[in-house]
Amino acid sequence: MHHHTTQKRLSCTTSKTIAYIRASTDKQDVTNQRHTILEYSNREGLHVDDFIDVTITSRTTSRQRRLDELCDLLEAGDTLIVTELSRLGRSTGEVMLLMNQLVAQGVTTIILKQGLTISPTAQDLTAKVMVTLLALFAEIERDFISLRTKEALASKKAQGVQLGKPPGTIQPSMYDQDRQRIVELLTLGVSQRRILTHHLGYGTSNSLNYYIKTRDLLPAPIPRTLHVRLHLRVENKSTFVRGKTRARQAIEATILRPYHMKKPRKAGGAYTLTISYETNADLHTTIQTILRDAAATADQYHCCIEAAVRALDGSGRSW
């Protein structure tokens, strides 16, 4: 009990540290400021006695920003911590008035972003404060503009006002005048680089590519077909199981028939398939899928396969 009384008496004579957090309705902003202040206080061995959190909009008054409450709470020897000078007011004049008042009250102010400590015990304090603040005015004013913009946008968003242009809005472009020409050249297979250098004579690769993509001007890929020869051998995995005939029949019916399967010799293992594709990657994927599915089907009948695919277009391609 005696220990508790001593602690209470000491707290009456010990200076305190207050942290002031001012933010828009963005909760992340409040969290970031609190984290920055706690990180600094832990590093410097300071104990923050209280946090004053203020969430504001563009129309929040000085009283609502709790500045009067802040000044009443702080006494000579106390310390105020704030992340940025611009958190202490909505204009440079407002900040100056508050700083002068805090100095007159004997309060030390620590501004983390600017790395500034304004202490009443410093010599020629007024000159130091004025020089420092004047040097920071440009930076502070930028911060004010940013904060006011965020607060105004947050206020409008809270009122249900849609910010920015509606989704899907497309801005006018310098390429609009040649849109039809660009479409015709793309349809003919002319590359974007050649369109720029040989037909338009203006613009950049990035801007033209963006224009084409956002307006969906690329022509639909023209499907191509390729005739291939499949040589397929089916064998039983065990001499005790004879399922290769049924396995081949299942492969023909479920895997090969959708590709317009033709079998030159009824008893042979050669097939002609017709495969539709858009790109070489599509073609490769389709053939690999045919071979994989054929192997899986054979496995269901305890069989295995050996297969080879060759293009019949004279290109010499094989899989």
CB 21 within 8 A of CB 33: yes
In a domain, residue 168? The reply is: no
Tell me which H or E stretch contains 270.
Answer: strand 270-277
In a domain, residue 50? The reply is: yes
Lowest mean pLDDT among 112-116, 201-205, 230-234, 300-304: 112-116
Within this chain, do residues 17 and 154 fall inside the same structural domain, yes or no? yes
Q: Is the pLDDT of residue 131 over 50?
A: no
pLDDT on residue 78: 94
In a domain, residue 187? The reply is: yes
Within this chain, do residues 242 and 298 fall inside the same structural domain, yes or no? yes
In a domain, residue 166? The reply is: no
Where is mean pLDDT largest: 19-28, 99-108, 146-155, 164-173? 99-108
How many separate domains does the chain show? Answer: 3
In a domain, residue 319? The reply is: no
In a domain, residue 198? The reply is: yes
What's the pLDDT tens digit per position in 132-170? 665 566 566 667 777 777 777 777 777 776 666 666 677
Within this chain, do residues 136 and 233 fall inside the same structural domain, yes or no? no
Look at residues 147, 182, 214 and tell me which one is the last residue of a structural domain. Answer: 214
In a domain, residue 264? The reply is: yes
Within this chain, do residues 121 and 184 fall inside the same structural domain, yes or no? no
Supply the range of the domain harboring residue 270.
224-311
Q: Is the pLDDT of residue 127 over 50?
A: no
Closest listed residue to residue 21, CA positions, set 52, 60, 62: 52
CATH of the domain at 263: 3.30.70.270
Within this chain, do residues 117 and 20 fall inside the same structural domain, yes or no? yes
Q: How confident is the model at residue 7 (pLDDT cuts 50, 70, 90)?
A: very low
Rounded distance between C-alpha atoms, residue 27 and residue 51, angstroms? 15
Q: How confident is the model at residue 270 (pLDDT cuts 50, 70, 90)?
A: very high
Q: Is the dihedral of CA 150, 155, 156, 160 positive or negative?
A: positive
Within this chain, do residues 29 and 145 fall inside the same structural domain, yes or no? yes
Q: What percent of the chain has pLDDT over 70?
A: 82
Rounded distance between C-alpha atoms, residue 186 and residue 235, angstroms? 50
In a domain, residue 91? The reply is: yes
* Mean pLDDT in residue range 272-288: 91
Q: How many CB atoms lie within 10 A of CB 297?
A: 21
The single-letter DSSP state of residue 79 is E
* pTM: predicted TM-score of the whole model, two decimal places: 0.41
Please give the mean pLDDT across all residues of the chain: 82
